[in-house]
Amino acid sequence: MSRAPGTRRLCDVAGTVHFAIPGNLSLPTGGYGYDRRLIAGLPSLGWQVNTVPLPAGYPFLSHAERQATKDAFDSLPDDAIVLVDGLAFGAMDELAPALSARLRLVALVHHPLADETGLTAAEAEALKASERAALAHARAVVCTSGATARRLAAGFSVPPERITVALPGTDLKPRAPANGSPSVLLSVGALVPRKGHDVLIEALGHLRHLDWTARLVGADDRDPEWTRRLKSRAAGLGLAGRVAFAGAVADADAELASADIFVLPSRHEGYGMAYAEALAHGLPTIGCRAGAVPDVVPEKAGALVPPNDPSALAGAIARLLTDPEAHRQAADAAWAAGQALPTWQDTAGIVAGVLERLQ
């Protein structure tokens, strides 16, 4: 449905939602995965989805990218329902007032932009102000976790009645045996500071005397310097032969099916789809008490430790490595939690309900 910039239809097709997404939708991230599943699930609920590509530079745009964003929205018909991924919406403070006068805007917020690790104080404050201003012009806000909903209500002045939580879905999976020797520790997440792989590597440095191997699965090109530092630190701790940096993989399910313990010490998560996938496979799961992680991972399913604490993380890993009964109980609790997770059909149904209220 591409049209030349500056042109638009004067009316829209009933039951159409325009889904504005910045960057490369095919990237293997939780946020883009959520977007892809909505695109796949909404048509069965009566919604035609028109994907609106936005520039990749979000949330820090060049002048040309801002103009490209304006052109993309200008091409949409008047009064259209437009679902905008939060990576873009939070940086649209300058565009949102004019757009909201013509379009029915819905923000999809995975987590506030200012909560990303690695920002300067000035960048974080600017993003928080931008997102607060932009969200004031959304007719509805969809969040991917209760933690994010609470954060937006308390810190971004979004009225709770405008917020709907649509948790990410999880597909049913066969249970992983989780009985390897040596135990395989699996971490799934892009190699960026927020995911806490540096904390994991430090923790593993305390566990050299135990029998394990580790696989770090996730895109390693998002922050090349951070990736270089992680690999250098692993080598410096004598872990180069035991910690594999696998990069992005085509089949994460195969990784989960062959792992024994899942561990990801993220400093913040808007939801944490990787944890949900681990639970769906019945893997003992270790995370941090940060963001929405405690809402997803029950303590009995593995462990929740303070963020940025390699010693506490090492202790939690060591317990599951050395105590077979603790590992078994955690695996059972993880499997039970995984079976109770919502499906993607549930997720699409909730989002469809939001869209229907705007018709």
- Give tens-digit pLDDT for 226-260: 999 999 999 999 999 999 999 999 899 999 999 99
Residue 123 structure tokens: 């960048």
Using only the alpha carbons of the chain, give its radius of gyration. Answer: 21
Residue 166: pLDDT over 50: yes
Q: What is the average per-residue pLDDT within 88-98?
A: 96
Candidate CATH numbers 3.40.50.2300, 3.40.50.2000, 3.40.640.10, 3.40.50.12780; the one for domain 183-339: 3.40.50.2000
pLDDT tier for residue 152 given thresholds of 50, 70 and 90:
very high
Helix (H/G/I), strand (E/B), else coil: 319? helix
Q: CB–CB of 179/327 below 8 Å?
A: no
| Weakest-pLDDT range from 28-32, 140-144, 297-301 | 28-32
Q: What would the mean pLDDT of 92-99 be, rounded to a whole number?
A: 96
- Whether residue 6 is predicted with pLDDT greater than 50 in this model: the reply is no
Residue 255 phi, psi (nearest 5): -65, -45
Six-digit token pair at 161? 């009645």
Class of the CATH-defined domain 16-169+343-357: alpha beta
Amino acid 177 reads: P
Report how far residue 313's alpha carbon sits from residue 311's, in angstroms, rounded to the nearest whole number. Answer: 5
Helices (H), the chain: 30-41, 63-74, 86-89, 96-102, 121-135, 146-155, 197-205, 224-236, 252-257, 273-280, 293-296, 310-322, 324-339, 344-357
Domain boundaries, given as residue ranges, for the chain: 16-169+343-357, 183-339
* Mean pLDDT of all residues belonging to the chain: 94
Q: DSSP code of 77? A: P
| Residues in CB range of 28: below 8 A, 6 or more apart | 218, 219, 248, 252
Q: Are both 16-169+343-357 and 183-339 of the same fold? A: yes
Per-residue pLDDT, 30: 87
